[in-house]
Amino acid sequence: MMATRTLNATLGCYTKRVLAKNVKLSDITGMKLKVFKKNSGKLAALQHSKEIPWNIERVFFITTRNTEDRGDHAHVHGSQAFICIMGSARLVCKDGIELREFKIDPLDEVVVVPPGIWVNINLSSDSGLAVITDLPYDENDYITKWDDFLKFKGLS
């Protein structure tokens, strides 16, 4: 069973690596979450089979006290799902040709970004963002220079 999992994971990464160069902004998906509201707050849930289209390998959280920009990079292999948990967040996504913005309100929606998309995250003051990924952290998965991203996409 372990060999099968490793083989499937390797094949999945290979497929993404080949396709990431051709990913376009139209491949980004956004969907509303079902939110249960009470006077005391909100509850929202995600399910692997519905809102997250892949196995979850890593979850991390970003919080800010002041307005802050984060991100400014792309991933070669990894997909990410972004959920604002407090305050507000704006994702500025670029495929090397076009730009698309997503405003995310707390717990109202999830934005799923495939590999091969440059993402800048604008966070309002006192905000929080949860990020769910399909791969564990690997610094080699990051493209942090815009010129390198354009080369990766075959645009320079």
Q: Which of these is catalytic: 48, 73, 75, 77?
A: 73
Q: Output phi, psi for 32, to 5 deg.
A: -75, 145
Known catalytic membership, residue 73: yes
Do 131 and 80 form a contact (C-beta atoms < 8 A)?
A: yes
Which residues are tagged catalytic? 73
